[in-house]
């Protein structure tokens, strides 16, 4: 069995999609369709930068989706590969769920672009810049990360501070967990991490604390946006982040996409659940971020990333 998987924020880079668009009409049409949906040349920003503008959440999210779907579209249109015949599940990391659902034809491409623009803006506006942040804990599993986050909150309370948020945001793989919350609490967690057993802790260059309770205002925005969006039943089940379980109805998908704004990305558990369901092969479209995670989670599974024409052609031949 095979799962097609799609990366999340952090996989963006200046130049993304440019070579593929130059080589393929199918890829170029995807980028043009996203540009039309947003009423601006996101494709030019993707190709030329500047990097700081591309990294803005409201730009990075639709850009990552556009690049992933362009890659998949080349495979399906020019490689003659039918998604429903060659994959059994789709999954995505955070915003990658929108790419996965676009691939599975639950969300059409223009709608996915507009929803991700709304999502990016809402997540940025939910917390003033500087109030929240995120950090990666390396050499720590999800249980240890929870202990470190809790210890940071307790330490600040013991010093007479206010009750702050610091919680696990992304359970990426057995050795990489991301925490999120108020900056003071996350910074304290970073300071405590090594003492409590993590190998290393690194503050991430993000502008907001994603996947924690501070994102509740953004969740409310997305609830309304998703109610207005026209969604269809997916061609394939989606293994959703918040439950690490497959869902296949529009009602379940709407709820899951709202919950994931504040909920933990359970990527490690999702991969393990797919393997338990019989998946032996994972193919990542438009990035090289999830593939190494999958290899650390499920060493016996095959994991491949597809970003270039050569890689797409090799995959089409293999399929």
Catalytic residue annotation: 94, 211
Q: Which of 89, 86, 107 is nearest to 98 (CA)?
A: 107
Cβ pair 6, 283 in contact under 8 A: no
Distance CA 7, CA 15 (A): 17
Tell me if residue 106 falls in helix, strand or coil: coil
**DSSP conformation letters of 157-197:** HHTT-----EEEEEEEETTEEEEEEEHHHHHHHHHHHHHHT
- Give dist(CA 223, CA 287) in Å, integer: 28
| Residue owning tokens 């405590």 | 192
Q: Measure the CA–CA gap between 246 and 237, rounded to whole angstroms.
A: 6
Q: Structure tokens of 231? A: 């969604």
Long-range contacts of 156-160 (CB under 8 A, 24+ apart): 156/184, 156/185, 156/188
Non-local CB neighbours of 140 within 8 Å, separated by 6+ positions: 148, 175, 176, 177, 193, 197, 198, 199
Task: Say how many C-beta atoms besides its own lie within 10 A of residue 254's C-beta.
Answer: 16
């Amino acid at each position: 069995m095979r799962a097609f998987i799609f990366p999340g924020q952090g996989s963006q880079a200046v130049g993304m999609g440019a070579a593929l668009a130059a080589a393929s009409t199918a890829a170029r049409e995807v980028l043009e369709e996203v540009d039309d949906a947003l009423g601006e040349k996101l494709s030019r920003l993707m190709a030329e930068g500047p990097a700081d503008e591309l990294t803005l959440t409201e730009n990075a999210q639709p850009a990552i989706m556009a690049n992933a779907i362009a890659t998949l579209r080349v495979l399906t249109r020019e490689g003659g590969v039918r998604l429903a015949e060659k994959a059994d599940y789709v999954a995505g990391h955070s915003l990658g769920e929108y790419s996965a659902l676009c691939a599975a034809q639950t969300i059409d491409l223009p709608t996915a672009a507009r929803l991700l623009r709304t999502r990016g803006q809402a997540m940025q506006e939910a917390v003033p810049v500087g109030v929240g942040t995120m950090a990666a804990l390396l050499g720590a599993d999800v249980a240890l990360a929870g202990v470190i986050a809790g210890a940071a909150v307790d330490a600040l309370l013991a010093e007479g501070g206010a009750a702050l948020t610091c919680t696990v945001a992304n359970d990426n793989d057995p050795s990489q967990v991301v925490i999120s919350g108020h900056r003071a609490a996350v910074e304290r967690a970073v300071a405590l991490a090594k003492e409590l057993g993590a190998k290393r802790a690194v503050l991430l260059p993000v502008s907001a604390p994603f996947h924690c309770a501070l994102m509740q205002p953004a969740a409310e925005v997305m609830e309304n946006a998703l109610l207005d969006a026209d969604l269809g039943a997916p061609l394939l089940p989606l293994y959703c982040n918040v439950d690490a379980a497959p869902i296949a109805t529009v009602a379940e998908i709407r709820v899951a996409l709202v919950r994931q704004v504040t909920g933990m990305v359970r990527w490690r558990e999702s991969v393990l659940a797919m393997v338990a369901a019989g998946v032996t092969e994972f193919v990542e479209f438009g990035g090289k971020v999830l593939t190494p995670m999958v290899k650390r989670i499920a060493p016996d599974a095959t994991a491949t990333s597809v970003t270039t024409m050569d890689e797409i052609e090799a995959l089409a031949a293999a399929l």
